[in-house]
Structure 1
Amino acid sequence: MESPNSTTNPNSLTNNVVTVPIPILPSEGTYAYVFVKGSLYAKDSAIFACSTDELQALSKRFQISTIPIDNGVMMKVAPSLVINSLSQLGYKVISSTGEAEIVWTLQREL
């Protein structure tokens, strides 16, 4: 006689186990994000989350120094020029929000 927990027994608890497959997502890359805040009419930009090397590259490109602000730096450069320079470092704009003052989110794959 078979035991009550046998896999051939239709009333066995092991037959009542439900398995839910978890979909395997394709491996996604790791990204870095930078935020640029400014106005299309202004000649200064706030930049957030740039690495020290990236900030040095921007400072050399525009031959100006950065002004520290909370969580970032301010540069006396139009946002469009900052965004174009960051694109040369591998960033691309993935979103923007605002009207008079806009925040652009840029992303680069690491």
Structure 2
Amino acid sequence: MSEDGVVYIAVKGSIHANDCSVFGLGSEEIKALTKKYPGSGNVVNGVAMKTNVLELINSLSQLGYKVVTSTGEAEIIWTLQRDI
């Protein structure tokens, strides 16, 4: 989703798990992350990543994303944004 030169994505996961999901990435970003995290695959409307959620968020920050909000307890959803 994009609005006013900003792209938003969502990351869902638990800090206690070794996998998470990301939603809203472009095809080039998906290609780069699935290469970095082998064994990743598709989920409904997104991609499952075989890595800890904090590792994924750090990787996304290298692509220019920053966390703008989060919600949840055992399973958390982080919303990230990047300027375009």
Above 0.5 in TM-score? Answer: yes
Structure 1 or 2, whichever has the larger Rg, is 1
> Which protein has the bigger strand share?
2
**Residues 20-31 of structure 1 mapped to structure 2, 5 A cutoff:** 29-31=4-6
Partner of 2:48: 74
In 2, Cα distance between equivalents of 1:71 and 1:59: 16
Aligned CA RMSD, in angstroms, stands at 1.4
Q: Secondary structure at the match of 2:59?
A: helix
Is 1:57 the counterpart of 2:32? The answer is: yes
The sequence identity of aligned pairs, in percent, is 50
- Specify the alignment match of 2:60 in structure 1: 86
1:65-91 C-alpha deviation (Å, 9 max, x unpaired): 431111101111110011000000000
Matches within 5 A, 1:41-56: 41-56=16-31
**CA-CA distance at 1:55 after TM superposition:** 0.8
Aligned partners of 1:87, 1:42: CA distance in 2, in Å?
Answer: 20
Deviation of the 1:103 alpha carbon? 0.3
Off by >6 Å, runs of 4+ in structure 1: none
Aligned residue pairs, count: 82
Runs of 5+ consecutive residues of structure 1 not aligned to the other structure: 1-27
Larger RCO of the pair (alpha carbons < 8 Å, separation 6+) = 2
